[in-house]
């Protein structure tokens, strides 16, 4: 049975009528990896249970900053755009998805939101941390190009999927995981110590990555393997 994969999406309020949007690379990679992609718009939360009863896996996609009120912090001066409609929907969706045990991938914002929902906190602006050996986490090159290296922790699910300890990734974020949520472990870091991947410390397929593997999946088979493994887990 081909798994049905739910994909969250962003909201654009610049027009008279709000628009939902999602980069096509998410849809393309799920289709190629053997899943049926379905976009989940941030509508009334009364549909959450029905969404989750129909999908076999969930991808929390990239996008705007997560509102720091969800992890009990005031907004930093460098906080970027927040999407309240999306935040309210995805926080509730992710909570129910974690409770249900379905496979989940959190990508960029999605990893941060996954961590927040499970009880962790975020750095609201990496440059403001004044890290001595800081690297650029917000590349200006296209999403299919590599930016910096990450080191993957030995014995993690991510290492088993990737097959090696060091890889190069793309990078489009200014926020990062600060306090990891209970029940999760760090599975990768960048050279300046920023957390680049997390995963649930049990048998569930629940992974968060700070980079955008969907944008690199045509360039690097190891990135595509993340989605293949995910879709396989959604069949099991």
Alpha helices in the chain (DSSP H): 24-32, 48-54, 84-100, 109-117, 157-162, 213-216, 221-235
Q: Which position among 9, 173, 212, 234 bears the catalytic label?
A: 212
Active site residue 214: yes
Q: Which residue is catalytic, options 108, 123, 231, 234?
A: 108
Q: What CA–CA distance (Å, rounded) separates 206 from 225? A: 15
Q: Single out the catalytic residue among 90, 196, 199, 214.
A: 214
- 176 CB-near residues (< 8 Å, 6+ apart): 112, 122, 123, 126, 137, 194, 195, 210
* Closest C-alpha to 217, from 2, 209, 177: 209
Q: Looking up tokens 């990891």, which residue turns up?
A: 180
Distance CA 4, CA 27 (A): 12
The residues assigned a catalytic role are 108, 212, 214
């Amino acid at each position: 049975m081909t798994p049905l994969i739910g994909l969250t999406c962003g909201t654009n309020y610049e027009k008279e009528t709000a628009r939902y949007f999602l980069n096509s690379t998410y849809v393309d990679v799920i289709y190629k990896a053997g899943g049926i992609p379905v976009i989940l718009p941030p509508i009334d939360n009364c549909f959450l249970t029905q969404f989750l009863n129909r999908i076999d896996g969930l991808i929390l996609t990239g996008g705007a900053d997560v509102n720091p009120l969800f992890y009990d912090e005031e907004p930093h001066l460098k906080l970027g755009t927040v999407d309240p409609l999306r935040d309210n929907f995805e926080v509730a969706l992710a909570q129910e998805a974690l409770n249900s045990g379905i496979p989940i991938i959190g990508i960029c914002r999605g990893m941060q939101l996954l961590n927040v929902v499970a009880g962790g906190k975020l750095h609201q602006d990496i440059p403001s941390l004044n890290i001595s050996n800081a690297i650029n986490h917000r590349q200006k090159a296209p999403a299919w190009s590599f930016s910096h290296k990450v080191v993957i922790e030995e014995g993690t699910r991510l290492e088993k999927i990737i097959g090696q300890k060091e890889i190069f990734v793309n990078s489009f974020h200014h926020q990062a995981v600060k306090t990891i949520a209970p029940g999760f472990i760090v599975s990768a870091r960048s050279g300046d110590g920023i957390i680049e991947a997390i995963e649930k410390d049990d048998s569930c397929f629940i992974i968060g990555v700070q980079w955008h593997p969907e944008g690199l999946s045509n360039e690097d088979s190891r990135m595509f393997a993340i989605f293949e493994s995910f879709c396989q887990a959604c069949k099991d």
